[in-house]
Amino acid sequence: MPAAEGTAPLAVILDQAGLDGLLTAIRAKGWRTIGPRVADDAVIYDEIETVADLPMGVGDEQKGGYYRLKARGDQALFGYTSGAQGWKRVLYPPRQKLFSAKRTASGFTIDPMAQPDAPLALIGVRACEMAAINVQAKVFGDKDFADPGYQGRLKGALIVAVECTRAGDTCFCDSMGTGPEVGTGYDIKLVEMVGKAGVTYVATAATDKGAKLLKAAKGKPAAEADLAAAAKAVKAAAKQSRKMETATSAKLKDVPEHARWDQVAARCMTCGNCTMVCPTCFCTTVEDVTDLKGDHAERWRKWDSCFTVDFSYIHGGAIRTEVRSRYRQWITHKLSTWHDQFGQAGCVGCGRCITWCPVGIDITEEVAAIHDSTKGRK
Amino acid sequence: MTAVPRDPMLPVLFRIEKVRRDLSDTFTMELVPEAGGEFSFKPGQFNMLYVFGVGEIPISISGDPGDRSVLVHTTRAVGAVSSALDSLKAGDQIGVRGPYGTAWPIESAYGQDVVFVAGGVGLAPLRPAIYHAMNNRERYGKVMVLYGARTPEDILFKKELERWRGRFDMDVLVTVDRATGKWSGNVGVVTNLVARGGFDPLHTTAFVCGPEVMMRYGASALEKKGVARDTIWISMERNMKCGVGLCGHCQWGSHFVCKDGPVFRYDSVADLFQVREL
């Protein structure tokens, strides 16, 4: 039932019971609901069933090399900013079996992997994360060689976005143009309104399947004023302490010999944390395993990081032996050459690389340093 | 929207028909698809070759593009997978994905002199283009093969080079870095052969393949002779895990060497050659 032209998209107000009803409706339709929950002192995205699984009253504090949960003293379910890791964990798992092979009398046979089970419902996708999902969809959706796993999981997925009403200290989506308002790709969008009277959700459907589910959740229709209040609350999250100099960052490929690379190399530990938590980093390696008899073999694809020496190894030695070359590769790809490859930046401004860097290297600060040093030069 | 495409990471089974030892560490395999049928490719393209339980490596195709009945690969055993490949024999199976990557634009050189500059095992990815030139000899001006190997014992496809040299319509020059035994031929780098000329620089297309440093010097030697940058082509080598632009390993500046390369026009990458550890 597509909305008639000119009519506003379906928008309702849900309380937390209504939100629970929405989750129930989603699960009843066969989606596996993945959403935020607290584990190991962090917000992670994992299997959830009801609203009771969500991180109630949990906020977070993030800064360079620092992540702590803290109690908000309210009933908010989405009171944190972004989870420790993005959604690539579910859409492009860290370990994926590519195929298994069996030795036969005349050689071997290859058995492709069966395609995944239940479709996923992603609950609580932030604007930056939605942008990251779209970035990866481009990477894995090449016209010649698409990744059927990612494509299949995304195509079958239901996406419930949550717009932020507060920015974390490491956030810079506003300067990347990826938030706090969520872009395209979601089915339902929520804005969590925390008031004296309790917590409510302004829920808007963007697709037919989203609208059907919202109807099933039985909220009361949202008024103009509700929508305006929600939009205003989201605007507040655009106030961010960090910003990316995007004009300079897009041109990093032009300064491969900049002195700043040595400076940052002196701090970078090449641990690869930034690449693991980055919601768009897509590099992988492969691993071959066999059983002890050598009759059964498997090929696995695993997340990899351009910060390892092995990453660039060809016979005779690695290409990028120095730390400066590896950091330069990561940030130049993310911010600059990604434009040439995919028509946009590979960074969505989520700030995870800053939060999870053990020494607090800040991608925006590195670009700013290069920006300042090249100002006025053409 | 069509159905989800076939996973590009799934190999197809091929059977090894013949193995020939070229050098102490280099061998050529002839492969046929287990399911029957033909294999067509363009000169300069490569395949990902999978050895059961060991792994997969990118290897360029070294056979004649005019012969679709057999797939030919020449490999130097330098790592775990290439050594495992070396231990296989006729009748064994391997997995193949491909062909991938860009090709030597050999047809764009019609009407021109064509110069092949090869170093070491870099002659293998050029051989399909050389075959094409020989199969279409009347379409070209001069055809030259300039080849450099480390020692006389490292000269790849030696018999074939000798046979080509015996033709009256082809120039073949070979040099070695270090003379051994009774070698009385050229000694020195392959760029010395470029410097000798013998081609019309204003109407020459050059295809250069070998170690990166050799290609850099080779291309600049060609430029010095007056060959324009946009008629010089090189073939890059980088770590590759997928061959189809999904694993990220082969990036070189903005390029995925696996799908934007391996063959590049020199003027489009000359700047990248100047950056260390890119």
Q: Which domain covers residue A288, as residue numbers?
A: 246-374
Question: To the nearest whole angstrom, how far is the Cα of A280 from the nearest Cα of chain B?
Answer: 12
Please, what is the angle between helix A16-28 and helix A208-217, to 10°?
130
The answer to whether the CB atoms of B52 and A297 lie below 8 A apart is yes
| Residue A8 confidence class, pLDDT cut points 50, 70, 90 | low
Residues of chain B positioned with their CB less than 8 A from the CB of A340? 254
Asked if A39 and A161 sit in the same domain, the reply is yes
Q: In this structure, what token pair is assigned to residue A202?
A: 């302004």
Q: Evaluate whether residue A2 is within a structural domain.
A: no
pLDDT digits (tens, 9 = 90+) for B137-182: 999 999 999 999 999 999 999 999 999 999 999 999 999 999 999 9
Residues of chain B positioned with their CB less than 8 A from the CB of A155? 4
The answer to whether the CB atoms of A142 and B247 lie below 8 A apart is no
- The whole-chain average pLDDT of chain B stands at 96
Any binding-site annotation on B258? yes
Domain stops at, among A238, A260, A293: A238
**What gap in Å lies between CA B220 and CA B266, rounded to an integer?**
10
Residue corresponding to tokens 């679709």: B68
The answer to whether the CB atoms of B93 and A108 lie below 8 A apart is yes
pLDDT digits (tens, 9 = 90+) for A103-136: 999 899 999 877 667 899 999 999 999 999 999 9
Cβ-based burial of B126 (10 A; exposed 0-12, middle 13-18, buried ≥19): buried
**What gap in Å lies between CA A304 and CA A310, rounded to an integer?**
10
The answer to whether the CB atoms of B53 and A101 lie below 8 A apart is yes
| Beta strand pairing call for A107-112 and A120-125 | unpaired
3-state secondary structure of A232: helix
pLDDT digits (tens, 9 = 90+) for A151-164: 999 999 999 999 99
| Residue A97 confidence class, pLDDT cut points 50, 70, 90 | very high
**What gap in Å lies between CA A134 and CA A279, rounded to an integer?**
10
Asked if A207 and A261 sit in the same domain, the reply is no
Strand positions, DSSP E, A148-283:
158-163, 188-195, 198-205, 220-221
Residues of chain A positioned with their CB less than 8 A from the CB of B261? none
The answer to whether the CB atoms of B93 and A144 lie below 8 A apart is no
Q: Tell me what the mean pLDDT of segment B21-34 comes to.
A: 97
Asked if A99 and A164 sit in the same domain, the reply is yes
Asked if A294 and A210 sit in the same domain, the reply is no
Q: Evaluate whether residue A1 is within a structural domain.
A: no
Residues of chain A positioned with their CB less than 8 A from the CB of B275? 256-257
Q: Identify the pLDDT of residue A106.
A: 87
Residue A212 has pLDDT above 70, yes or no: yes
Instruction: Write the Ramachandran bin of A178: left for phi over 0, alpha for psi from -120 to 50, otherwise beta.
Output: alpha
pLDDT digits (tens, 9 = 90+) for A214-272: 999 988 999 999 999 999 999 999 999 999 999 999 999 999 999 999 999 999 999 99
Core vs surface per residue A288-319: b (16+ CB within 10 A) or e: beeeeeeeebbbbbebbbbbbeebbbbeeebb
Question: To the nearest whole angstrom, how far is the Cα of B67 from the nearest Cα of chain A?
Answer: 25
Instruction: Write the Ramachandran bin of B58: left for phi over 0, alpha for psi from -120 to 50, otherwise beta.
Output: beta
Question: To the nearest whole angstrom, how far is the Cα of B187 from the nearest Cα of chain A?
Answer: 24
Question: To the nearest whole angstrom, how far is the Cα of A6 from the nearest Cα of chain B?
Answer: 27
> How far is C-alpha A21 from the geometric centre of its chain's CA atoms?
26
Q: In this structure, what token pair is assigned to residue A239?
A: 């106030």
The answer to whether the CB atoms of B4 and A283 lie below 8 A apart is no
The answer to whether the CB atoms of B53 and A297 lie below 8 A apart is yes
Q: Tell me what the mean pLDDT of segment B13-20 comes to.
A: 98
Q: Identify the pLDDT of residue B7.
A: 87
Name which of B2, B6, B7 to mutate to probe chain A: the one with the most chain A Cβ atoms within 10 A of its Cβ. Answer: B7
Nearest-5° angle of CA A329, CA A299, CA B46?
60
Determine which of A20-34, A138-152, A200-214, B87-101 has the lowest per-residue pLDDT on average.
Answer: A138-152
| Residue A376 confidence class, pLDDT cut points 50, 70, 90 | low
**What gap in Å lies between CA A369 and CA A367, rounded to an integer?**
5
User: Where does CATH 3.40.50.80 sit in chain B?
Assistant: 106-235
Give yes or no for a contact between B275 and A328, defined as CB atoms under 8 angstroms apart.
no
3-state secondary structure of B117: strand
Q: Identify the pLDDT of residue A182.
A: 97
pTM for this prediction: 0.95
Q: Identify the pLDDT of residue A374.
A: 81
Residue that wins the pLDDT comparison between A5 and A251: A251
Question: To the nearest whole angstrom, how far is the Cα of B105 from the nearest Cα of chain A?
Answer: 20
Residues of chain B positioned with their CB less than 8 A from the CB of A145? 8, 244-246, 259
Asked if A160 and A250 sit in the same domain, the reply is no
| Beta strand pairing call for B113-119 and B143-149 | parallel
**What gap in Å lies between CA A308 and CA A162, rounded to an integer?**
35
Q: Evaluate whether residue A344 is within a structural domain.
A: yes
| Residue B124 confidence class, pLDDT cut points 50, 70, 90 | very high
Residue corresponding to tokens 């925390």: A194
Give yes or no for a contact between B64 and B128, defined as CB atoms under 8 angstroms apart.
yes
| Beta strand pairing call for B26-33 and B12-23 | antiparallel
Q: Identify the pLDDT of residue A116.
A: 66
Any binding-site annotation on B247? yes
Domain stops at, among A186, A219, A238: A238
Asked if A272 and A234 sit in the same domain, the reply is no
Asked if A105 and A210 sit in the same domain, the reply is yes
Facing residues of A199 across strands? A194
Any binding-site annotation on B209? no
The answer to whether the CB atoms of A311 and B256 lie below 8 A apart is no
Asked if A277 and A229 sit in the same domain, the reply is no
Residue A306 has pLDDT above 90, yes or no: yes
Residues of chain B positioned with their CB less than 8 A from the CB of A152? 4
Q: Tell me what the mean pLDDT of segment A271-276 comes to.
A: 98
Q: What is the secondary structure of B163-174 as a DSSP string?
A: HHHTSTT-EEEE
Core vs surface per residue A143-159: b (16+ CB within 10 A) or e: eebbbbbbbbbbeebbb
Query: Which residue of chain A comes nearest to B253, CA vs CA?
Result: A337
* Superfamily for the B12-100 domain: Translation factors (2.40.30.10)
Out of B238, B244, B278, closest to residue A145 by CB: B244
Residue A3 has pLDDT above 70, yes or no: no
The answer to whether the CB atoms of A288 and B253 lie below 8 A apart is no
Q: Tell me what the mean pLDDT of segment A151-178 comes to.
A: 97
Q: In this structure, what token pair is assigned to residue A235?
A: 């605007």
Question: To the nearest whole angstrom, how far is the Cα of B58 from the nearest Cα of chain A?
Answer: 11
Domain stops at, among A184, A214, A238: A238
The neighbour count for residue A227, using CB atoms within 10 Å, is: 16
Determine which of A211-225, A350-364, B56-70, B83-97 has the lowest per-residue pLDDT on average.
Answer: A211-225
Out of A109, A140, A329, closest to residue B246 by CB: A140
Q: Identify the pLDDT of residue A5.
A: 44
**What gap in Å lies between CA A90 and CA A120, rounded to an integer?**
9
Question: To the nearest whole angstrom, how far is the Cα of B133 from the nearest Cα of chain A?
Answer: 29
Asked if A55 and A137 sit in the same domain, the reply is yes
Question: Structural domain tally of chain A?
Answer: 2
Asked if A181 and A284 sit in the same domain, the reply is no
- The whole-chain average pLDDT of chain A stands at 94
Q: Identify the pLDDT of residue A377.
A: 53
The answer to whether the CB atoms of B241 and A286 lie below 8 A apart is yes
Query: Which residue of chain B comes nearest to A292, CA vs CA?
Result: B53
Out of B53, B248, B277, closest to residue A282 by CB: B248
Q: Evaluate whether residue A343 is within a structural domain.
A: yes
Cα–Cα distances (Å) from B17 to A168, B14, B33, B89, B90, in that order, read: 62, 9, 10, 8, 5
Residues of chain B positioned with their CB less than 8 A from the CB of A283? 247-249
Radius of gyration of chain B (CA): 18
Q: Identify the pLDDT of residue A378.
A: 44
| B106-235 is classed CATH 3.40.50.80 | yes
Asked if A287 and A356 sit in the same domain, the reply is yes
Give yes or no for a contact between B61 and B127, defined as CB atoms under 8 angstroms apart.
no
Asked if A70 and A24 sit in the same domain, the reply is yes
Under DSSP, the state recorded for B109 is G
The answer to whether the CB atoms of B246 and A147 lie below 8 A apart is yes
3-state secondary structure of B64: coil
User: Where does CATH 2.40.30.10 sit in chain B?
Assistant: 12-100
pLDDT digits (tens, 9 = 90+) for B197-229: 999 999 999 999 999 999 999 999 999 999 999
